[in-house]
């Protein structure tokens, strides 16, 4: 049976996580406490704030994992040489997008005093890695991805024994950190090693997902459930898979929060298990869903990079309008608040969670017509450059 160019259930899952992702970025720009405290800090957070932040953990792992799955789907209609070249060039393009476009959109600093490497960088460098890995025999590809994802937390023991004064190269590999480059600062938010492993396993999942078309939804749910069971069993031991132990808290709810609060930067084995596990369950559950609401969500999943870029610019633009409405000047905004890399943003100003949710919904509704237009444009045109967007 020849594969479809796109699989709707994958686009639907991608659309779901893209919409959820915007909630976290809306909180970053509009929540009054966003720049003052960690929403996952169990000593100061609330259940609603913790849940608002934690649910968005699904986004980056699902996005990277599905990028690998999409690469496998492309392998069914491209030669290995064509796919390798595409992954390599698109990966380099995404890194450029991260450094030039996304850094500006996030900071609104035209002088680029801070250069940020986060989600788009991690996908780009992982594509470069995958462009090489796909030349290996499939069992070796799977073994390599599995070794990286399950084994990278062994570096936690090395990191715990050091003063964390690592080189920029080690930060790019496995340790979140900032590094001065002349009069600028490079902030490595997403060290790439575990993300590359995640994309490799997503590539392998593509073969698994297509190997039994009739039962792929059930198999996705079973695989996702297995990953969550693995997470629970290993997390209970507090021995491996995450650098931070869970601890009993003042209530059962907060103890549960501690249990599921695993490391994202870089993503630990257990973080990836619970987030990708839940994503695969969702993929199985929505596999046969066909209605207008699902179609609307799928629109976002078909133009993920376009959506990702413009939603950051729109959020920062709206927060800048709020900045001026609060009586601040352009000079004050361009200078920036002390210790805050984002221009036109003041710590402590903004809304409570209800206001954040309202802004989030408004942004999603505003972005839908643009994303629908671009999705339709991509479907109607076959220009080579559209595959890079």
| Segment 289-308, tens digit of pLDDT | 899 999 999 999 999 999 99
CA torsion 243→247→252→254, rounded to 10°? -60
3-state secondary structure of 383: coil
Average pLDDT over residues 90-109: 96
Report whether pLDDT(264) > 60: yes
Going by C-alpha positions, the residue among 16, 144, 1 that lies closest to residue 68 is 144
CA torsion 298→299→302→305, rounded to 10°? -120
Q: Which residues of 219-231 are buried (b: 16+ CB within 10 A; e: fewer)?
A: bbbebbeebbebb
**In the chain, where the domains are located:** 8-388
Say if residues 279 and 17 touch (Cβ distance below 8 Å). Answer: yes
Counts for the chain of helices (H) and strands (E), in that order:
17, 3
Burial of 305 (0-12, 13-18, 19+ CB in 10 A): middle
Alpha helices in 33-167 (DSSP H): 47-54, 59-75, 80-96, 103-107, 119-133, 138-151, 155-160
pLDDT given at position 6: 67
321: how many CB neighbours lie within 10 A of its CB? Answer: 11
Measured distance CA(315)–CA(280) in Å, rounded? 29
Q: What is the pTM of this model?
A: 0.94
pLDDT given at position 340: 83
In this structure, of 9-18, 218-227, 308-317, 375-384, the range with the lowest mean pLDDT score is 375-384
Average pLDDT over residues 108-136: 96
pLDDT given at position 3: 41
Q: pLDDT tens across 28-68, in order?
A: 999 999 999 999 999 999 999 999 999 999 999 999 999 99
pLDDT given at position 160: 86
DSSP 87-108: HHHHHHHHHHIIIIIIHHHHH-
Q: Scanning the structure block, which residue is given the tokens 């995450």?
A: 242
Average pLDDT over residues 236-259: 96
DSSP class of residue 153 equals: G
Provide φ and ψ at 292, rounded to 5°. Answer: -65, -35
Measured distance CA(66)–CA(265) in Å, rounded? 19
Q: pLDDT tens across 184-207, in order?
A: 999 999 999 999 999 999 999 999
């Amino acid at each position: 049976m020849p594969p479809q160019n796109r699989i709707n259930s994958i686009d639907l899952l991608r659309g779901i996580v893209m919409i959820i992702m915007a909630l976290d970025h809306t909180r970053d720009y509009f929540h009054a406490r966003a720049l003052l405290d960690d929403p996952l800090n169990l000593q100061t957070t609330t259940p609603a704030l913790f849940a608002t932040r934690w649910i968005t953990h699904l986004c980056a792992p699902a996005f990277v994992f599905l990028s690998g799955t999409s690469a496998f789907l492309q392998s069914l209609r491209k030669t290995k040489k064509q796919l390798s070249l595409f992954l390599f060039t698109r990966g380099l393009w995404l890194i450029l997008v991260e450094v030039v476009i996304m850094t500006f959109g996030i900071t609104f600093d035209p002088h680029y005093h801070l250069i940020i490497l986060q989600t788009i960088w991690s996908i780009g460098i992982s594509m470069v890695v995958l462009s090489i890995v796909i030349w290996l025999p499939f069992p070796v590809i799977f073994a390599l991805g599995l070794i990286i994802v399950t084994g990278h937390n062994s570096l936690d023991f090395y990191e715990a024994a050091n003063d964390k004064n690592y080189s920029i190269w080690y930060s790019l590999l496995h340790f979140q950190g900032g590094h001065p480059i002349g009069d600028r600062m490079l902030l490595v938010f997403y060290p790439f090693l575990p993300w590359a492993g995640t994309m490799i396993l997503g590539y392998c999942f593509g073969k698994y997902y297509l190997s039994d078309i009739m039962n792929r939804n059930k198999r996705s749910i079973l695989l996702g459930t297995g990953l969550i069971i693995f997470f629970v069993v290993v997390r209970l031991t507090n021995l491996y898979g995450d650098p931070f132990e869970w601890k009993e808290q003042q209530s059962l709810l907060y103890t549960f929060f501690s249990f599921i609060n695993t490391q994202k930067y870089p993503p630990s084995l257990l973080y990836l298990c619970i987030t990708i596990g839940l994503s695969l369950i969702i993929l199985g559950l929505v596999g046969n869903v066909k209605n207008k609401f699902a179609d609307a969500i799928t629109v976002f999943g078909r133009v993920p990079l376009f959506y990702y870029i413009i939603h950051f610019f729109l959020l920062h633009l709206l927060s800048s309008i709020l900045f001026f409405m609060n009586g601040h000047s352009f000079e004050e905004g361009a200078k920036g608040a002390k210790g805050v890399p984002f221009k036109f943003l003041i710590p402590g100003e903004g809304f409570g969670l209800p206001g954040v949710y309202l802004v989030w919904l408004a942004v999603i509704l505003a972005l839908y017509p643009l994303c629908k237009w671009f999705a339709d444009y991509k479907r109607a045109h076959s220009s080579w450059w559209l595959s890079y967007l």
